Amino acid sequence: GQNIDQPTEMTATEGAIVQINCTYQTSGFNGLFWYQQHAGEAPTFLSYNVLDGLEEKGRFSSFLSRSKGYSYLLLKELQMKDSASYLCAAPSYNTDKLIFGTGTRLQVFP
């Protein structure tokens, strides 16, 4: 079976760093995605990890450990506009379907 778990909600302060965790159980592995979704809008692609380690893209970084079935999204120098839901997703084995977690709603306070 396939399962993706992430926290439902998180809060943080402007300028701080926040780490959003995601654990996954998939039969086979073909990468892990992170998307950002502002309320009422489309999800937008943030990152894709297929190898272990940290990938940095400006203020956002994504980490993957395949042996632990674990990923995190790291957001630095938080801004108010980072308040959004962050969706973790993994491809269903041997298909191009994506399985999504329920999303983590991040609220950034001044």
CB 42 within 8 A of CB 50: no
CA atoms within a 13 Å half-sphere pointing along the CA-CB vector of 98: 14
Q: Quick check: 12 binds other proteins (CB under 8 A)? A: no
Strands 32-37, 84-91: pairing kind: antiparallel
Q: Quick check: 106 binds other proteins (CB under 8 A)? A: no
> Shortest distance, CB of residue 63 to other proteins, whole angstroms?
18
Of 15-23, 37-45, 51-59, 68-76, which segment contacts other proteins by CB under 8 A? 37-45
**DSSP helix/strand/coil, 31:** coil
Of 16-24, 43-51, 58-66, 68-76, which segment contacts other proteins by CB under 8 A? 43-51
Number of separate helices (H) and strands (E) present in the chain: 0, 11
Among 12, 91, 106, 108, binds other proteins (CB under 8 A): 91
Q: Look-up: residue for tokens 């632990």?
A: 68
Name the residues that contact other proteins, by CB under 8 A.
4, 8, 31, 33, 40-45, 48, 50, 87, 89, 91, 96-98, 100-103
